[in-house]
Amino acid sequence: MVQAQKDGVTISKEGGDRWYYTFLPYNVAGGSTSPMIPLFITEGLKGTVAQVGLVGAISSMASVPANIIWGNLSDTTKKRKIFVLIGFLGMAISLLLMGLSMDMGTYYFANFILGAIAAAAAPVSTVIILETFKKEEWARRIGDFSKISGVGWVLGLVLGTIWLQLASDDGTVVSAMRGLFITASALALVSVFLAIKWVPEPTKRVERKDAVEEVPLSRLIHFERGRYGPTKIIHIMKVSAHNLSPRNFPSSLKLYYVVTLLAFTGFLTFYTAFPIFLKRELGLSISEVFIVYLASSVTSALTYSLAGRWTSAVGGKKVQILAFLGRILLFPMVFLVTLLDLELWPLMAALCALHALIGFCWASLSVAGSTIVSRISYRDFRTESLGAYNAIMGIGAIIGSLIGGLVAETMGYQITFILASFLVLSALLLLLPLNLDKEPNEEIAPHAIEA
């Protein structure tokens, strides 16, 4: 790759964005296995839904500190490429171990690696764009990168659907699942080799906080899954007593963090049980479960831009209120639709429609949430505020995974989905009185000048 320097920024003369495609096989690997990770526990390892929740919690528990640690290491060492390689390799190793797992202990370890090591790429990938292209190009370049990642994720779901559709019986399905894990591991390894050749090591460093005002948050497409593990993060917490002082966070932001914690606990309570419910209670094949997930992912990817425009037009709080209301109603409807005694394809159509609406709610929630945090945080601590927001989503994922697995195992899926709605309702009731569309009176924290 031929590169030139202009104003200290590395600019490629040809193939400047070719390295985006190193993330394509990596995201295909993620999309093809994400719905399968919980299903393999019950179908391949004969585990319980409580163990599904524990696996989700382990992965999330590893991801939350890992994103912070890898991001801080990258910023401290002034290196980017090596962390992309570590993330890709971590994905390859974890998926290979999952495919070879014969017991839950190995599977727990594989998911810990997925959360801890594969997370290395998330806080680095988008920063490379900031450091490789001029500021006026950031929004467009991140949007292009996010679209390629999104296409990879959807292609992965399509691959998983077709792959598992070819399996004709339970014994063949387990072998097919193992084969898909190993194939996905190979795809992640392809990303490693492509990254060695194509991913640049920028020569200029950009502060993450510089992207707060420059990059529209609707450009960052994130797919929802049954654990915490974002593939793209710009803002991370800088861990220090000064940065994490409670005085750096306005009271409205602290309350909004509680809203976020309750909401994401509810989301993961639902999603921990959801794929097992589809397979065990409704009798869908694993490929049909993939189709239901595909409906949500495609809808959320297609509506991110709409969610961004909607948030700009009516405000983040109103968007979140409507999205919360949507999920409060949709979660139990997934159970209620099964009482209609529908044939397979009408049932599939209803489930896909409901899950597509849940995916639309996700696009709205994702964009509106980040917009709210950016608006109500102190300007000097906006990066830390957004980083804390990411971490709190992860903590909600840990709690929700454990609750969802335990309640589904002991009390059934109907109670689990109602509880998920109740948790989101609690978040909504706390959200309603908050003033979240007004910036704090001070552009910086009152004590920042003293520091």
- In this prediction, residues 6-18 reach a mean pLDDT of 52
Listed residue (168, 300, 279, 334) closest to 224, CA to CA: 300
Write down the domain spans for the chain: 21-431
pLDDT tens for residues 391-402?
999 999 999 999
CA 107 from chain centre, in angstroms, equals 21
Cβ-count burial of 431 within 10 angstroms (0-12 exposed, 13-18 middle, 19+ buried)?
buried
Which stretch of 31-35, 115-119, 132-136 has the lowest confidence by average pLDDT?
Answer: 132-136
pLDDT computed for residue 136 by the predictor:
81
pLDDT computed for residue 5 by the predictor:
47
Q: Is the per-residue pLDDT at 33 higher than 90?
A: yes
Q: Is the per-residue pLDDT at 1 higher than 60?
A: no
Task: List the CATH code of the domain at 21-431.
Answer: 1.20.1250.20
pTM attached to this predicted model: 0.90
Q: Which single residue is written with the structure tokens 């990596």?
A: 26
Q: What DSSP letter does each residue of 281-299 carry, written as one string?
A: IS---HHHHHHHHHHHHHH
The overall average pLDDT reported for the chain is 88
Alpha carbons 342 and 265: distance in angstroms, whole number: 31
Listed residue (97, 108, 99) closest to 47, CA to CA: 108
